[in-house]
Structure 1
Amino acid sequence: MKRGIVLLMILMLGACSNEAASNGPDEGEAETLAEDLETPWMIEKAEEGFYISERGGTLKRVTEDEIAVQSLKLEQETHASGEGGLLGFILHPDDPDTAFLYHTYSDGGEKNRVVEMKRDGSAWSESDVIVEDIPGGNIHNGGRVDIGPDGHLYITTGDAGNGEYSQDRNSLAGKILRVALDGSIPEDNPFDTEVYSYGHRNPQGLAWDEEGTLYATEHGASGHDEINVIEPGANYGWPLIEGDEEEEGMETPIYHTGSDTWAPSGIAYDDGTLYIATLRGNEVVAFDLSSNSPSTFYDEGSRMRDVRVEENQLYTITNNTDGRGSPSEDDDRLLELEVE
């Protein structure tokens, strides 16, 4: 009798254990690190947390204890309209008290600029102009900034709604720019200007693999969103070609979405895969570079703006408060997921 009771208890404990396991977090479930963000644009990793730029003109620092608004002192006020505003933000690789910031401003029309910022406590002040007078508009302002393995600053700019800018090498719009961290033009730039590549519509993602290959994501006109391998001096065809179309002297993408629309924004590289935040696609896409094939990495039905991979953890931000989504009560959010 006693032996039967013991066996019954063992079976009941096993059932409870299995039930607890089934109620645990599912594979691919995200942990929320911050809530109530307002149109966040870029994630930058910092000591003990993250910086999040918000298109409306706010920079926030997220730690385990708080979300703290940073003071920004800029020589030109941020002009947040349409797709413009406070966009890219990245720390100097050797100095956590120095950063580079991309923002839209108004000067006889909408323009964009990249500036150096210096930190004192929670206050950031403009200390130098890196690039300015980048044509801007209500749409297609680019905005990504990143530092390449060569130590130079790379900047994506959109065509500001005017495709002619993209083919004009004398214009800073519709380009990927490359400058030294002090704003000077590297001697090996292809045109002796800031322009590194041209013929872009609205590139918003930059990432390098371990071989130093540069990948960029770009919004197409109607579908035909692109993943490109970026080469110095190359022409990526907009507005003359898109998708699989070919023209002498112009590059075609390694992948495009055809009639589907991703509206790809930030990207990150990790172990042969590009992770791509998609706005219209409402998911984070994993793009296998060995097979040139995409799959869904994370899908909760939200617009996704940026991704970052650090030590097998992927960080991403929703973008449901940008005027084109359907925000929930706690949007927008900074999320953490595990990368296998």
Structure 2
Amino acid sequence: MKSRTCRVEGIQIVQRRAVTAMLAAATLLVTAGCSSGDGEESGGGGSTSPGSSEPGASAPASGPSAEETPPAKGSVKVVRTVTEGLKSPWGLAPLPEGGLLVSSRDEGTITRVDEKTGKKTELGSVPGVAPAGEGGLMGLALSPSYASDHMVYAYFTSDSDNRIVRMLYDAKKPAGDQLGAPDTVFRGIPKGTNHNGGRIAFGPDKMLYVGTGETYVTELAQDKKSTGGKILRLTPEGEPAPGNPFNSPVYSYGHRNVQGLAWDSKQRLFASEFGQDTWDELNHIKPGDNYGWPEAEGQSDDSKYHNPIDQWSTDEASPSGIAYAEGSIWMAGLRGKRLWRIPLNGTKESADPEAFLEGDYGRLRTVVSAGGNKLWLMTSETDGRGTPESGDDKILELEVT
């Protein structure tokens, strides 16, 4: 059984808890005694579809009615361990030709994992990565034109800022030399020891969405001229995307530290966000909206702030990656050491969340759709805050309902 770890002012507190296969949770949970203010643990071209004001929104994808009204109770089955022995893994990008690209935050490398055999092949190092604290090589995303350009996008911390680069991936070259020289797409995102954000994803509109952090400079989150504490929306070339609400890269603001981005079958954008000492959040993102930080953490009575659709005490979640499958958002918890299911209902934006795999695999960093009812789930025990055991870190294949 994995131990449960929090850090308060440099003191590590370990609490042993019995592992449960499933934990049903109400939307509001009691605030835990572990303070989370020490870091992330704290806790297409702008077309608009009828009835939607969101840039890039498109008509709902057709699919089974189960995806529109998910079952009240879900399930998670761990099919297998895909691979083991990863070092500080962070980003995960499935390749259309097969294989999974994994970034190592602290090593500054990208590795290809054969999802059938588990074999790992290092593509190469990303020049300019300066890992420290929660910074380093983080999110990965494939170009929307990957089939023709074979470009891989990466978000990383440099000596001066957080930035996004793209690199040519050439599998025909020798291992260790398969990444081309990085082309900087966007730079100048504030950096810090903590709260560097780091998740990137291309949306249904083929625009690049970026989750950033406020680097402990809380006023950046409300400053619409800063790219810290925001969700950004960019063209693949790094320009402000057409239709952005402020004629800038900023898509939404008032965020503390965004590390999860995913779209549902209706093309609605959701994002997970670390709270400080009280509430972590899952938000439905609308262009131009203010999500409250640092004036609000979790639900607020002030109508100028967009409230989260769900919130958790910081020791139950500390969420990083999210994915959409089977009518639900699936959210990986670091300090919480569990996988949350948040059903999305038609008339109600969210039903009561459920927790799975509590403590079974330790800290969970990234979850990605593997198609249909399957997910890839990646652990995060070797990032300096976990308690690594034999085989850490791992990628798991899951079946979910």
What are the residue-to-residue correspondences of 1:58-207 with 2, within 5 Å? 58-63=109-114, 64-65=116-117, 66-74=119-127, 77-96=128-147, 97-107=150-160, 111-121=161-171, 122=175, 123-207=178-262
Aligned partner (choices 333, 340, 353) of residue 285 of structure 1: 340
- Higher alpha-carbon deviation: 55-64 or 294-303: 294-303
Q: Which residue of 2 aligns with 1:296?
A: 355
Report the CA distance between 1:73 and its aligned residue. Answer: 4.6
CA contact (8 A) 2:88 2:382 kept: yes
The separation in 1 between residues aligned to 2:382 and 2:340, in whole angstroms, is 21
Structure with the largest fraction of strand: 1
- State the AA in 1 paired with 2:112: R
1:105–1:112 contact (8 Å) kept in structure 2: yes
Aligned length: 310
Kept after mapping to 2: 8 A contact 1:42/1:87:
yes
Equivalent residues in 2 for 1:43-54, closer than 5 Å:
43-46=92-95, 47-54=97-104
CA contact (8 A) 2:199 2:259 kept: yes
Q: Is the aligned partner of 1:32 residue 2:81?
A: yes
Structure 2, unaligned runs of 5 or more:
1-74
Once the two structures are superposed, residues 175-233 of structure 1 have per-residue CA deviations (whole angstroms, 9 ceiling, x without a partner) of 00000111122221111111100000001100111111100000000130001010111
Q: Which amino acid aligns with 2:142?
A: L
Give the match's secondary structure for 2:131: coil
Deviation at 1:259, TM superposition (A): 6.3
In structure 1, what is the Cα distance between the partners aligned to 2:145 and 2:325? 23
Change (3 A) 1:73 1:310: closer
Which stretch shifts more, 115-124 or 159-168? 115-124
State the secondary structure of the residue aligned to 2:353: strand
Q: Which has the higher helix share?
A: 1
Is the partner of 1:257 in helix, strand or coil?
strand
Compute the TM-score of the two structures, normalised by the length of structure 2: 0.74
Deviations 1:104-160, CA, capped at 9 Å, x for gaps: 0003xxx10001111233521244322101101110010000011111000000011
**Rg larger in 1 or in 2?**
1
Alpha-carbon distance, 1:297 to partner? 3.0
Distance in structure 2 (CA, Å) of the matches to 1:49 and 1:85: 23
The runs of at least 4 consecutive aligned structure 1 residues that moved more than 3 Å come to 258-261
**Aligned partners of 1:331, 1:322: CA distance in 2, in Å?**
10
TM-score between both structures, scaled by the size of structure 1: 0.87
Cα distance in 1, alignment partners of residues 314 and 159 from structure 2: 35
Aligned partner of residue 124 in structure 1, secondary structure: coil
Within 5 A, what are the aligned runs for 1:12-27?
none
Counterpart CA distance in 2 for 1:27 and 1:248 is 37
1:222·1:261 contact (CA, 8 Å) conserved in 2?
Answer: no
1:320 equivalent to 2:381? Answer: yes
How far the C-alpha of 1:27 sits from its partner, in A, is 7.0
> Equivalents in 2 of 1:34, 1:266: separation in Å?
19
